[in-house]
Structure 1
Amino acid sequence: MEKQAAAQRMSELRAEIERHNRLYYQEDRPEITDAEYDLLFRELLALEEQHPDLATPSSPTRRVGSAPLEKFAQLRHRVPMLSLENAFTEAEIAEFDERVKRFLGMAGDREIEYVCEPKMDGLAVELVYEDGIFSVGSTRGDGFTGEEITRNLKTVRSIPLRLATDTPPNLLEMRGEVYLPLAPFQRLNAEREEAGEPPFANPRNAAAGSLRQLDSRITARRPLSIFCYAPGMVEGAEFTSQSHFLATIKTWGLPVNPLIRTVAGITGITDYYREMLAQRESLPYEIDGVVVKVDSFSLQRELGEKSRSPRWAVAVKFPPRQAVTLVEDIIPQVGRTGVVTPVAHLRPVVVSGVMVSRATLHNWEEMEKKDIRIGDTVVVERAGDVIPAVVRVLTEKRTGAERHLPIPASCPECGSEVVKIPEEVAVRCLGLSCPAQIRESIIHFASRRAMDIEGLGDKFIEQLLRLKLVRNVADLYSLTQEDFMQFERMGDKLAENLLNAIAASRERELSRFIYALGIRHVGEHTAKLLANAFGSIHNLAKASEEELLAIREVGPQVAQSIRTFFHNRDNMEVVERLLAAGVTPSVTEKKVGGRFTGKTFVFTGTLTRFTRDDAKKLVEDEGGHAAGSVSKKTDYVVAGEEAGSKLEKARQLGVKVLTEDEFLAMLES
């Protein structure tokens, strides 16, 4: 490329990369995938290597991350938080190993020890411990200055506020990655869509958005976690290697990914890379590659750093989980709260080994922003959600026959008016008797975390509605065996089982009953707060806005939603019919003087005798507390099969470990 053309292209790339940095790091709304960003970055890097005289000090290739947000105080890192050079193929892994040996003057056949770890797709942070006490925390920011978010980081339960050692270092700067596990991410996005809020693009953006809340109570409600991986400045402790450092901080109570491994040479790295790539889909969190580091700290110091990355480490990216296909149609879909969502029906395509035929478009604003039309050729990606998302449109493949889908004037299910709610992205059906809303509300009511009507799945509920046997959830309790015998392929035993499951659901905790009603903005956690505060469904129904707002985690939007629900005559009629049918919600109280009063349990590994929810209830019914992490205050850890880091931490702290059988024996004694 001629020098003038190269200068023009480099200028365009710098502007485009800076724009995407701002969208990704500061606004948490990326427009392109990591793979597409990497292509832009590598193109600029290659041009700068070809024309070093055209490189500028302010180039994105000379920076890390982005500038801190002005709404947070700025905090200077004592040791810069550099980013890593990327590799994308096994050949590039081999090149990294060769560069390291060449720089160190080592023979080609000598094997270097490396530490390999999963590359978490989260937000990089720094935790500062002074004399073992967590004092301040910040984001990476531009690598030199980050955003001070100490209060929000203190809500992340896996971050210890005090190191578990009697001889802590005077100063420990700990680098780690805060992430949101996949299951909570999917629940959070579902709640946001039902509330008419824009969903997060991926778990990384959800974690970043959670940590950048000005109100730390919002952060506290999101189950963030962290893995620690590297030191900044350390005073009062010495480490010989990365593996020595990780083993030590683990004993201090800092979370370390259990999949981290020390390997020998290029063969060890490639074997680890292939293993993590194979495990990628089964992990409970998002990873987008592996990180490889020279283990020896003395060799790291000898290798040193380049302008923006260390020579002793590399991030090996996984192939993107994407595919190209055609949008054959866009169908509006109605949820249980009346939100109408556009769903893309795709020409079936395999993405990461899964056949995909649908993709969520979230809402009309999102669809219009990406300019997605019926007939478009699109890139779809599976990134942390069960239903894939459309990443972008290949506009160059348009023929002119593509069509927009406007917001429908009426509900596709019931024909009622559809409106755009002010200050929301949601489009809602106003029909109180909308079949889609009734269907979704019954599915939610019968779900495991609500009234737990075992066996009453989507297909049976569809038949109940088609046969007009139910109009709302209260009708479930007046069904007979003869009603179920009208179903296709229904036998006496199955009908009897369904009736028994419905009967058993009459006795559920008040919190589950409140959650089952499907009140907007009221999830499981809020339902428990309401049950404990009011003690009965009638007390909750009569509660004033002031009484609701007196509950610490209930804000004006939630209070208004609860008031609106119970002031609706049809809703109260359904509630009264449920109570008249024998549904008796009870408040679960901790048993005073129970077997486990004052005791804290942690459950880990794969449990075979009971579920986690069952275990938690067994403990709480006997006056105990079921915690999510192990600490010095933990009394017992109940370990199932394949127990990991929690079991190791329990042994390090001397916490008593029980098998499932031993736990049940203790319960029965």
Structure 2
Amino acid sequence: MSDTPVDQLTESAAREELDRLAAELARHDALYHREAAPEISDADYDALKRRALEIEELFPDLTSPASPSQVVGAPISSQFAPVRHGVPMLSLDNAFSAEEVTDFVARIRRFLRLPGDEPVAFVGEPKIDGLSASLRYERGMLVTGATRGDGRTGEDVTANLRTIADIPQSLPGKGWPDVIEVRGEVYAPNDAFDAFNAAAEAEGQRTYANPRNFAAGSLRQKDPTITAKRPLRFFAYAWGETSAAFADTQADALKALESWGFHVNARSRRVEDAAGLQALYAELERDRAGLGYDIDGVVYKVDRLDWQARLGFVARTPRWAIAHKFPAQQATTVLEDIDIQVGRTGSHTPVARLHPVTVGGVVVRNATLHNADEIARLDVRLGDTVTLQRAGDVIPQILGVVDADRPGRGPPWEFPHLCICPLKTALVKETNASGVESVVRRCTGELACPFQRIEHLKHFCSRRAFDIEGLGEKQIIAFHDRGWLSQPADIFRLARDAEKLDALRNEDGYGEVSVRNLVAGIDARRTIALDRFIYGLGVRDIGEQTSIVLARAFETWPAFEAACLAAAEGMPSEDWVRLNEAHAVSPRVVATLAEASPPADDPWPEAPIDQKIALAFPGLAAPARRGLATLADDWAGLVRLAAVARNEGPSEGLGQIAGVSGVGPVAARALALFFREPHNRAMVDALVAELARIEDAERPKSDTPVAGKTVVFTGALERFTRDEAKARAESLGAKVSGSVSKKTDYLVAGPGAGSKMADALKHGVTVLTEDEWLALIG
């Protein structure tokens, strides 16, 4: 993650970082929700998401359906049937301080326009650290059980949920609606979890890092008899679709759920105003360790359901609820070693190896150290006693050294200057647009580096790229270690290599069905969509959304390849790149510089640099002048900038890619650098030779009612997902934007539409319901 403040990012740098953050968050969502194997702490995840939301707020036009603000949960797995939720399962905003809770209450008062003496009642309840589930009952009988999934569509785990004793198969009592979706949390009590782990470890079976991961992994078993043996419980706390109202308040709704046979958390309570919320929070934080199950905060919900309806939603979160997170838990232990992990783009990340210590009920052995600068800042050395911080995480953060002044302390730890791979390639530190050196050190070996090669292969097979069934991380590493896989083309060669497939059957214990499924999974991807192909190449700075944009712009693989090869022949100078990436320096500013012919001698020797820029290049706004001043501090520097703008820019081929709306110079340069390397071109050629077809991107239509129109989707859409809506609109020739302006033609609003609805009314934009939109597009 960049250290550059969000308000100092250029639009191209913001787009680049938002794409990177979206991809990183999507990966962590999949690890958390689908694999039950998170790699980062909740706090680190929250920090990533907060930065992404700040970028979207400052650059609203960059918001897309794939943006972090529009995503809930994680995509569903292909091993379970999809279940469409009657009402979306949305996420909650987080609060981390008493001040944020006070602001939350004040916002509700302002929105509802309540008098100062009228109390606001809330229901506060422990935030269970488990897996969200939705249970659909029809005429009192359980018919479907599903995970949250992406918020709109979950995974059908009905058979597994039926094995949990806390979940009634039929509703007792009376007053329940004919149709009701009961929402709640599947969790594992701490004692039962510890007993399961101890027994599994004794038998050499898989153990789980914490009860949350255990609950997720247990519920997502293919075989429900395995789930039935797991000590899972269920707390009900909410509802989705109902055929009839059954309560007037949140508190009464919980009582109704309890009367219908559900377990409702006994620590849930009705309180009033911010003071009541803070008192409940302090109480639960104090009692947290003795509850017998993990919680990571307290959820506050407005009690009156009619007020909830009035408050509505903002983007993908309700205005009427918030999760107040507990602070991180801490412990001390000894730093035994520091290892380096190499990422797909060559980044070298240090990981602390710790003497095992229990933090909040989880045994911790590893902690992130982020980068060399963080190690230097903390001054951590082997043998130090360090303080750890954990917030529901597997890899926590080291806060500092306890015994920094002890006698005989070891020497400072030195970050390697060469890649840890056998090639010992030099590590480099890149610079950003402002000339500031990056904290990340990267290996320059690319695919020649075995560590990067494995990460590239994992990316290539990932769900958003080629999505090859049966070829996961474990198989990729094993096949690479045997010398079978070194580049993507080798995957497709493997499917036709009878000798290697026989070795799998005879030496590695693969069954005939497993081998057949692996070959089928590989062969199924010999035909691939152009956007997936582009994304699968793993080019740095080319995310999933950028790949889609590029595919639609160039339509065919030959056209895209030709553009990339032409771009590789016309790379701009480093000075030109720094100029274009400087703060507030737009293409128009660069064009102004290129058209100017400032004299060699300074006509205004006494003027400050900002004034010189204003006089030499009339019409530039103050932010652009300040951006240029960071690159040139005297007249000679300004003359040089004008020459750079005029003579050292990209070729027409590179400009063609950079000029695609939604791509920009950073992504274009990344493609040019990639295709400039002979070994990368050879890798691509070998891959193409193994494929049957790279499918052309669908050409957007121009003869539809919305062709050329700008459309914004908002609210909790019920007839389609945002991805579906965006894809359909763009196929009909419309442009989909993330923000409303006077140039917007249509706002398609689902339930809970918020500020975008207000903006549409202000600008006179046509507002459509989902049904009206579907009627318009036919």
What percentage of residue pairs aligned between the two structures are identical?
44
* Higher mean C-alpha deviation, range 194-203 or range 63-72: 194-203
Aligned amino acid, residue 391 of structure 1: P
- Rounded Cα–Cα distance in structure 1 between residues aligned with 2:52 and 2:337: 38
After the TM superposition, which residues 191-270 of structure 1 pair with which residues of structure 2 at under 5 Å, given as runs?
Answer: 191-270=199-278
- Rounded Cα–Cα distance in structure 2 between residues aligned with 1:111 and 1:167: 30
CA contact (8 A) 1:329 1:345 kept: no
**Distance of aligned partners of 1:383 and 1:308 in 2 relative to their CA distance in 1, 3 Å threshold:** closer
For the pair 1:165 / 2:210, whether they are aligned, the reply is: no
- Rounded Cα–Cα distance in structure 1 between residues aligned with 2:195 and 2:183: 28
Give unmatched runs, 5+ long, in structure 1.
Answer: 331-341, 363-371, 405-422, 424-669
CA contact (8 A) 2:333 2:355 kept: no
**Distance of aligned partners of 1:398 and 1:317 in 2 relative to their CA distance in 1, 3 Å threshold:** farther
- Which residue of structure 1 lines up, in the alignment, with residue 9 of structure 2? 2
- Which residue of structure 2 lines up, in the alignment, with residue 128 of structure 1? 136
For the pair 1:148 / 2:156, whether they are aligned, the reply is: yes
- Rounded Cα–Cα distance in structure 1 between residues aligned with 2:17 and 2:203: 43
- Which residue of structure 2 lines up, in the alignment, with residue 345 of structure 1? 355
Aligned amino acid, residue 345 of structure 1: H
TM-score by length of structure 1 reads: 0.52
CA contact (8 A) 1:381 1:389 kept: no
Distance apart, 1:307 and its partner CA: 1.4
- Rounded Cα–Cα distance in structure 2 between residues aligned with 1:93 and 1:328: 40
After the TM superposition, which residues 360-439 of structure 1 pair with which residues of structure 2 at under 5 Å, given as runs?
Answer: 375=383, 380=388, 391=396, 399-400=413-414
- Rounded Cα–Cα distance in structure 2 between residues aligned with 1:373 and 1:206: 34
- Rounded Cα–Cα distance in structure 1 between residues aligned with 2:111 and 2:86: 27
Distance apart, 1:209 and its partner CA: 0.4
- Rounded Cα–Cα distance in structure 2 between residues aligned with 1:7 and 1:377: 41
Distance apart, 1:375 and its partner CA: 4.3
TM-score by length of structure 2 reads: 0.45
Aligned amino acid, residue 98 of structure 2: E
- Which residue of structure 2 lines up, in the alignment, with residue 87 of structure 1? 95
**Distance of aligned partners of 1:394 and 1:258 in 2 relative to their CA distance in 1, 3 Å threshold:** closer
Q: Secondary structure at the match of 2:132?
A: strand
- Which residue of structure 1 lines up, in the alignment, with residue 310 of structure 2? 302
* Higher mean C-alpha deviation, range 54-63 or range 131-140: 54-63
CA contact (8 A) 2:389 2:399 kept: no
For the pair 1:49 / 2:57, whether they are aligned, the reply is: yes
Q: Secondary structure at the match of 2:238?
A: strand
Aligned amino acid, residue 278 of structure 2: T
Distance apart, 1:60 and its partner CA: 2.0
Q: Which has the higher contact order (CA 8 A, sep 6+)?
A: 2
- Rounded Cα–Cα distance in structure 1 between residues aligned with 2:96 and 2:192: 30
For the pair 1:182 / 2:199, whether they are aligned, the reply is: no
Q: Secondary structure at the match of 1:119?
A: strand
- Rounded Cα–Cα distance in structure 2 between residues aligned with 1:306 and 1:359: 37
The CA deviation string for residues 560-603 of structure 1, in whole angstroms up to 9 with x for no partner, is: xxxxxxxxxxxxxxxxxxxxxxxxxxxxxxxxxxxxxxxxxxxx
The CA deviation string for residues 413-448 of structure 1, in whole angstroms up to 9 with x for no partner, is: xxxxxxxxxx9xxxxxxxxxxxxxxxxxxxxxxxxx
For the pair 1:70 / 2:78, whether they are aligned, the reply is: yes
Distance apart, 1:324 and its partner CA: 6.4
- Rounded Cα–Cα distance in structure 1 between residues aligned with 2:249 and 2:364: 46
Aligned amino acid, residue 287 of structure 2: Q
Q: Secondary structure at the match of 1:79?
A: coil
- Which residue of structure 2 lines up, in the alignment, with residue 12 of structure 1? 20
CA contact (8 A) 1:17 1:60 kept: yes
**Distance of aligned partners of 1:323 and 1:275 in 2 relative to their CA distance in 1, 3 Å threshold:** same
Q: 2:290 aligns with which of 282, 291, 299?
A: 282
After the TM superposition, which residues 465-484 of structure 1 pair with which residues of structure 2 at under 5 Å, given as runs?
Answer: none
The CA deviation string for residues 151-203 of structure 1, in whole angstroms up to 9 with x for no partner, is: 10000001111111145421111001000010111112222322333421211
CA contact (8 A) 2:285 2:326 kept: yes
- Rounded Cα–Cα distance in structure 2 between residues aligned with 1:316 and 1:72: 33
**Distance of aligned partners of 1:100 and 1:395 in 2 relative to their CA distance in 1, 3 Å threshold:** closer
After the TM superposition, which residues 546-557 of structure 1 pair with which residues of structure 2 at under 5 Å, given as runs?
Answer: none
- Rounded Cα–Cα distance in structure 2 between residues aligned with 1:307 and 1:121: 24
- Rounded Cα–Cα distance in structure 2 between residues aligned with 1:18 and 1:8: 16
- Rounded Cα–Cα distance in structure 1 between residues aligned with 2:80 and 2:216: 14
- Rounded Cα–Cα distance in structure 2 between residues aligned with 1:13 and 1:311: 25
- Rounded Cα–Cα distance in structure 1 between residues aligned with 2:272 and 2:110: 17
- Rounded Cα–Cα distance in structure 2 between residues aligned with 1:13 and 1:61: 11
Number of residue pairs matched by the alignment = 377
Q: Secondary structure at the match of 1:47?
A: helix
After the TM superposition, which residues 28-47 of structure 1 pair with which residues of structure 2 at under 5 Å, given as runs?
Answer: 28-47=36-55
**Distance of aligned partners of 1:39 and 1:188 in 2 relative to their CA distance in 1, 3 Å threshold:** same
- Rounded Cα–Cα distance in structure 2 between residues aligned with 1:401 and 1:305: 47
Aligned amino acid, residue 263 of structure 1: V
CA contact (8 A) 1:171 1:235 kept: yes
- Rounded Cα–Cα distance in structure 1 between residues aligned with 2:414 and 2:385: 12
CA contact (8 A) 1:292 1:313 kept: yes
For the pair 1:104 / 2:112, whether they are aligned, the reply is: yes
- Rounded Cα–Cα distance in structure 2 between residues aligned with 1:28 and 1:395: 29
Q: Secondary structure at the match of 1:187?
A: helix
The CA deviation string for residues 435-488 of structure 1, in whole angstroms up to 9 with x for no partner, is: xxxxxxxxxxxxxxxxxxxxxxxxxxxxxxxxxxxxxxxxxxxxxxxxxxxxxx
Aligned amino acid, residue 243 of structure 1: A
- Rounded Cα–Cα distance in structure 2 between residues aligned with 1:252 and 1:272: 27
CA contact (8 A) 2:180 2:241 kept: yes
**Distance of aligned partners of 1:6 and 1:154 in 2 relative to their CA distance in 1, 3 Å threshold:** same
Distance apart, 1:49 and its partner CA: 1.1
- Rounded Cα–Cα distance in structure 2 between residues aligned with 1:351 and 1:156: 28
- Rounded Cα–Cα distance in structure 2 between residues aligned with 1:193 and 1:351: 19
Distance apart, 1:2 and its partner CA: 2.8
- Rounded Cα–Cα distance in structure 2 between residues aligned with 1:154 and 1:173: 15
**Distance of aligned partners of 1:180 and 1:65 in 2 relative to their CA distance in 1, 3 Å threshold:** same
Distance apart, 1:345 and its partner CA: 3.4
- Which residue of structure 2 lines up, in the alignment, with residue 581 of structure 1? none
- Rounded Cα–Cα distance in structure 2 between residues aligned with 1:329 and 1:10: 34
CA contact (8 A) 1:288 1:318 kept: yes
Distance apart, 1:329 and its partner CA: 7.8
Q: Secondary structure at the match of 1:192?
A: helix
**Distance of aligned partners of 1:39 and 1:325 in 2 relative to their CA distance in 1, 3 Å threshold:** farther
CA contact (8 A) 2:40 2:396 kept: yes
Q: 2:30 aligns with which of 4, 22, 45?
A: 22
Aligned amino acid, residue 399 of structure 1: W
- Rounded Cα–Cα distance in structure 2 between residues aligned with 1:377 and 1:40: 28
**Distance of aligned partners of 1:79 and 1:296 in 2 relative to their CA distance in 1, 3 Å threshold:** same
Aligned amino acid, residue 355 of structure 2: H
- Rounded Cα–Cα distance in structure 2 between residues aligned with 1:54 and 1:390: 31
- Rounded Cα–Cα distance in structure 1 between residues aligned with 2:312 and 2:279: 26
Distance apart, 1:250 and its partner CA: 0.9
**Distance of aligned partners of 1:153 and 1:198 in 2 relative to their CA distance in 1, 3 Å threshold:** same
Distance apart, 1:398 and its partner CA: 6.9
Q: Secondary structure at the match of 1:322?
A: strand
Distance apart, 1:401 and its partner CA: 9.7
